[in-house]
Amino acid sequence: MIPLSSLVPACLFFVLALGGALPALAQDGTGAPASGEEAPAGEPGEAGPRLPRFASLGSSEINVRTGPGSQYPIAWKYVRSSLPVEIVAEFEYWRKIRDHDGSVGWVHKSLLSGKRFASVEGAIRVLRDDAGEDARPLLRLEPGVIVRVERCKADWCRVKVQDSRGWLKRDWLWGIYADEVIN
């Protein structure tokens, strides 16, 4: 008979591996993607796009799970597409994501999109017709409004919200890295 004490380390290793705590199974990296339209996920075994990176929810109903697989319980459900999320780890076909509020969970890669969206942060922000504080104001956007990011140059990003296009300061948006180029 095998003593129980000899099984505990092996069981602990298995639990940690399934939880994505080991770097060999769930990679955490640094750096930002060079393009706004990168695919949100690579194939298993590929180096794939760098981590972390931003993507968006590609479906209007997405189950977020406690681990990387359908055998894990559903922690919560998103009921809106196009929300920006940050991919922080990968395991096979599963992506560990973090949302604007800091909530973290796992979703299948097929439920994510490479289309870039961002949420307005802080105070009410003014959408302008050109990149610059002196450009003509178009709309006032409240915090939490989701915008489609078309491109970013220097400190400003061209965005689309409903049927309007204009420019917002990059640091007013969650879903874009400070040094990221989006064309």
Question: Are 48 and 61 in the same domain?
Answer: yes
- Domain boundary residue among 84, 115, 146? 115
Question: Are 59 and 143 in the same domain?
Answer: no
* CATH number of the domain residue 170 falls in: 2.30.30.40
Q: Does 103 fall in a domain? A: yes
- The more confidently predicted of residues 37 and 98 is 98
Question: Are 111 and 129 in the same domain?
Answer: no
Measured distance CA(23)–CA(39) in Å, rounded = 22
- On the question of pLDDT at 47 being above 90, the answer is no
What pLDDT, in 10s, does the model give residues 69-106?
999 999 999 999 999 999 999 999 999 999 999 999 99
Question: Are 9 and 68 in the same domain?
Answer: yes
Question: Are 77 and 28 in the same domain?
Answer: yes
Measured distance CA(95)–CA(26) in Å, rounded = 9
Q: Does 69 fall in a domain? A: yes
pLDDT of residue 48: 64
Question: Are 65 and 138 in the same domain?
Answer: no
- On the question of pLDDT at 145 being above 60, the answer is yes
Residues 54-82, mean pLDDT to the nearest whole number: 98
**How many C-alpha atoms does 85 have within 13 Å on its Cβ side?**
31
What sign does the dihedral 123-154-114-102 (CA atoms) show? Answer: negative
Band (pLDDT 50/70/90 cuts) for residue 46 is: low
pLDDT of residue 18: 36
Beta-carbon count within 10 A of 102 CB? 7
Question: Are 50 and 9 in the same domain?
Answer: yes
- Find the domain containing 144 and state its range: 118-174
- The total of structural domains in the chain comes to 2
Q: What is the pLDDT of the chain when averaged over all its residues? A: 82
Band (pLDDT 50/70/90 cuts) for residue 30 is: very low
Q: What percent of the chain has pLDDT over 90?
A: 71
Band (pLDDT 50/70/90 cuts) for residue 26 is: very low
Q: Does 146 fall in a domain? A: yes
Question: Are 97 and 132 in the same domain?
Answer: no
pLDDT of residue 128: 98
Band (pLDDT 50/70/90 cuts) for residue 45 is: very low
* pTM metric for this prediction: 0.74
Q: Does 144 fall in a domain? A: yes
Got the DSSP string for 18-40?
HTT-STTTS-------S-TT--S
Measured distance CA(58)–CA(124) in Å, rounded = 27
- On the question of pLDDT at 39 being above 60, the answer is no
Question: Are 77 and 46 in the same domain?
Answer: yes
Residues 37-59, mean pLDDT to the nearest whole number: 71
Q: Which of 75, 134, 144 is nearest to 104 (CA)?
A: 75
Band (pLDDT 50/70/90 cuts) for residue 153 is: confident
Question: Are 124 and 91 in the same domain?
Answer: no
pLDDT of residue 10: 37
Question: Are 85 and 67 in the same domain?
Answer: yes
- Domain boundary residue among 115, 130, 154? 115
Measured distance CA(134)–CA(157) in Å, rounded = 15
